[in-house]
Structure 1
Amino acid sequence: MTIHPPDRRDFARSVPVRLWDESFAADPLRHYQALRNQGPVGWGELAPGVPAYVVTDRRAALDVLHDEETFSHDPRAWEATVPDDSPVLGMMRWRPNALFADGAAHVRYRTTLIDVFDLVEPHDLRGRVHRAVRLLVGRIGPRGEADLVGDFAEPLMALVFNDLFGLPESQGDRLHSGVGKMMEGGDRATVGEAEYAQYVLDLIAAKTERRGDDLPSRLLDHPAGLTREEVTWQVFLTLGAGYGPTANLLSNTLSRILGNPLYYSTLTDGARPVMDAVVEVLHHETPLANYGIYYVRRPVAFHGVWLREAVPVVVSYGALGILAEREATERRHPNDASHLSWGAGAHACPVKQHTLLLVTEAIERLTQWLPDLDPVVPRDRLTWRPGPFHRSLTALPVRFSPRSPASEPSGVRS
């Protein structure tokens, strides 16, 4: 880790940059630039009265992500400093799972997740996506118009993840309601956390009584011997982190494709540059913009700033991606991974390939069924949900030629 003690600063009396209000959702770049103007580490606010160190420099971010001796994921010292009704507690409070663990405990939890997801074969995941797309196109096709957030991206991910976790289609609304409220981090966050927790508790109770061919059952039977409580919080993490951010990645990518004639024309002509659009989204509108959260184990000077204990250190993937694009040189390939949206180090995303397959298959299949999607609202007039952690569209309205659910498009594989 790089230490810079001579010019270290303490932000305790500075005015933080708000990452939780409507103005941040409307113009994150302005807020990220204000943070970057303070140096590699800026002073932000995740909710009223909840300050955080925000890392906007790539080198500093990598120092955080790779230094397990200085930085911890355990938030319990911080938790003791915030009110019980803080709107960000739902996303930040400690739970016995891979996200909030360090060292051997983290390795144990992470290994179980990798093991159970490795049992999900790519062809199986494709099949689940294809069935979900067919079902949703059957609902929206005859109408000739849809909101690709509320009518496609969110219900599709609810269908796929409920299927993977052994729940029926009818439970999708519960998943969407709880996770959505919790991620926005506003007045409804506490209610959303309770709703989602009950959703997961009901799921684990059902799987404890009767196993199935699903991820919770495999976690319950994993040789690591996770307790029922540990399985509950592993599922709380993976189902929530899978559903919300993946739905946002899907809708953000669709908005970028539909808003760029070059993307969409080549997509419908068969070139399918979906992955290029995904990479662009990970630079500009990454779904989990500010959710790389760490805490120093002891006060330390870090890149010119004095970091105090019990204050979150947030690696801003949103700022890193946008600012990296603005500061790009001719030597950098446009499709590199300087966005760091998948994380790095011990806590890097363990299911990156599953996520990419989900999103790319969903877009390719949708545009085969509905090849003339036409956005109703110009891209620069789309609106975004507030919240410090995510980058999430409120809606993506489109029109298209009405299609009968019974009419199979040419080139679609079952």
Structure 2
Amino acid sequence: MTTPASSRCPVAHGSPIDTDGPRIALYSEEFAADPHRAYREMRSRYGALVPVDLSPGVPATLVIGYHAAVKILNDPEHFPADPRTWQKGVPGECPILPMLEWRPNALRSAGLDHTRYRQANTASIGEIDLHALHATVEQIAIPLINAFCADGAADLISQYAFPLTFAVLNAMLGCPPDIGQQVATGMAAIFEGVNADKGNAMLTDALFELVTLKRAQPGDDITSRLLAHSARLDDVEMIHQLVTLYGAGIEPQQNLIVNTLLLMLTDDRFAGNVLGGSLSTRDALDEVLFTDPPMANYCVSYPKQPILIDDIWLPAHQPVVISMAGCNNDPAINAGEYTDNRSHLAWSVGPHACPAKSVAYLIVQDAIDQLLDALPELALGVVPDQLDWRPGPFHRALVALPVTFPKSPPLNVY
């Protein structure tokens, strides 16, 4: 018997994951080359909720509607961050599993567990001396600049942004260089999805070594403060707090430095040459957080049961990924005004919002200002169309940022 049209459910019951057509491959080189075109096409075809693949055969729903994203991010009861049910069906060799798998830390937990981990991290980060951190960034930046300032050319990723963010983070965590090098190698494999399982194992081993060291020799650093916190984190929990701190502290900060420099070197409001710019580093940084955030698609949750969002049923226990880039550029909220506008989602919102925002702002802005003070006639070394973007479902990251500048004598190191 046919159901009368007047009594039929007006809501579509198919989910973006179960689409009849192909899902959008967020891991493809085509997507990496021009994600903003892809977001526009997604919005035109699907609206706020888009069927995507994070990796071959790994479906997810990508949220590109700002208001839908804010609703989801502020509703951890219906959209918990715990992936354990989902990952039971994911092969262990899946290249993105280390980025998404359950870990006993705030990023991948819900409820009381999340509260316990979050409080420990927030307290430990909150004790960072920002004045001392400013001096640390300067002490690390100047030798890096001196290593290439007489050459007249450099790659600002491999020669500046990566080693700087890595060294600053090691200093904040009290991590010796030899352990830190293992951490960096493992973390790079995880972000790139190349030998990610081996990278994950290397990362875990290195962080266990750091935790063991700090239990024996505590210092004035985040790792020692986490160990001393009333949450009484055990070794396994400590390792996974540090995974999150390294994951958030290297790749996103490196990308934010580089993407902001790219804007400043290619937009006459900031540059032409950097000397002629009329807007500040902070203005450029805030604009990039809107238009090209360093983590473009992340903040993953897994609904506990089928749930209705924007007239679409999302399936239970399947990844819902927030596109910070897509949402920030949603025409419903983006009026093209970025100066002093902090309504973007680059730091996330809700209970999983970044607890180290002020620290990240300081590191990135100081890194950029140190470079531009030393080399004010910095210029992009290629035309923008020749820059290559690294493929991957989560980050917005250049392969390299080649620059040129007049050869300069080394800076004084105080």
Q: Which residue of 2 aligns with 1:383?
A: 388
- CA shift in 2, pair 1:122/1:68, >3 Å: same
Q: Which amino acid is 1:352 matched to?
A: K
| Kept after mapping to 2: 8 A contact 1:62/1:344 | yes
Residue 201 of structure 1, aligned match among 204, 208, 212: 208
Distance 1:175 1:120 in 2: 22
Residue 341 of structure 1, aligned match among 329, 339, 346: 346
Distance 2:159 2:167 in 1: 12
Q: Which residue of 1 aligns with 2:370?
A: 365
Residue 40 of structure 1, aligned match among 11, 27, 48: 48
How many angstroms does 1:170 deviate by? 4.8
Distance 1:294 1:362 in 2: 33
Q: How many residues align?
A: 403
Q: Which amino acid is 2:104 matched to?
A: P
Structure 1 unmatched ranges of 5 or more = 409-413
Q: Which residue of 2 aligns with 1:411?
A: none
| Kept after mapping to 2: 8 A contact 1:184/1:390 | no
Q: Which residue of 1 aligns with 2:361?
A: 356
- CA shift in 2, pair 1:270/1:128, >3 Å: farther
| Kept after mapping to 2: 8 A contact 1:90/1:182 | yes
Q: Match of 2:271, SS?
A: helix
Structure 2 unmatched ranges of 5 or more = 1-8
Aligned-pair Cα RMSD in Å: 2.1
Q: Which residue of 1 aligns with 2:5?
A: none
| Kept after mapping to 2: 8 A contact 1:286/1:318 | yes
- CA shift in 2, pair 1:399/1:266, >3 Å: closer
Distance 2:412 2:157 in 1: 24
Q: Which residue of 2 aligns with 1:98?
A: 106
1:275 matched to 2:282: yes
1:250 matched to 2:246: no
Distance 2:308 2:172 in 1: 44
Q: Which amino acid is 2:314 matched to?
A: L
- CA shift in 2, pair 1:171/1:227, >3 Å: closer
Q: Which residue of 2 aligns with 1:306?
A: 313
- How does the TM-score come out when normalised to structure 2? 0.92
Q: Which amino acid is 1:122 matched to?
A: L
How many angstroms does 1:171 deviate by? 4.9
1:405 matched to 2:392: no
Distance 1:217 1:347 in 2: 23
- CA shift in 2, pair 1:300/1:133, >3 Å: same
Q: Which residue of 1 aligns with 2:334?
A: 328
Q: Which residue of 1 aligns with 2:88?
A: 80
How many angstroms does 1:359 deviate by? 0.5
Q: Match of 2:367, SS?
A: helix
How many angstroms does 1:154 deviate by? 0.2
Distance 2:207 2:396 in 1: 24
How many angstroms does 1:385 deviate by? 0.7
How many angstroms does 1:197 deviate by? 2.1
Matches within 5 A, 1:1-400: 6-11=11-16, 12-14=18-20, 15-36=22-43, 37-185=45-193, 187-264=194-271, 268=275, 273-324=280-331, 328-329=334-335, 335-400=340-405
Q: Which amino acid is 1:292 matched to?
A: C
Q: Which amino acid is 1:394 matched to?
A: V
Moved more, 314-323 or 293-302: 314-323
- How does the TM-score come out when normalised to structure 1? 0.92
Distance 1:270 1:42 in 2: 38
Distance 1:260 1:112 in 2: 41
Q: Deviations over 1:303-352 (max 9, x none)?
A: 1211111210011112112334x97348x665423431111111111111
How many angstroms does 1:268 deviate by? 3.6
Q: Match of 2:250, SS?
A: helix
How many angstroms does 1:179 deviate by? 1.7
Distance 1:386 1:406 in 2: 36
- CA shift in 2, pair 1:5/1:235, >3 Å: farther
- CA shift in 2, pair 1:147/1:329, >3 Å: closer
Moved more, 17-26 or 268-277: 268-277
- CA shift in 2, pair 1:277/1:406, >3 Å: closer
Percentage of matched positions with identical amino acids:
36
How many angstroms does 1:242 deviate by? 1.0
Distance 2:298 2:373 in 1: 34
Distance 2:37 2:127 in 1: 43
Q: Match of 1:143, SS?
A: coil
Distance 1:53 1:366 in 2: 39
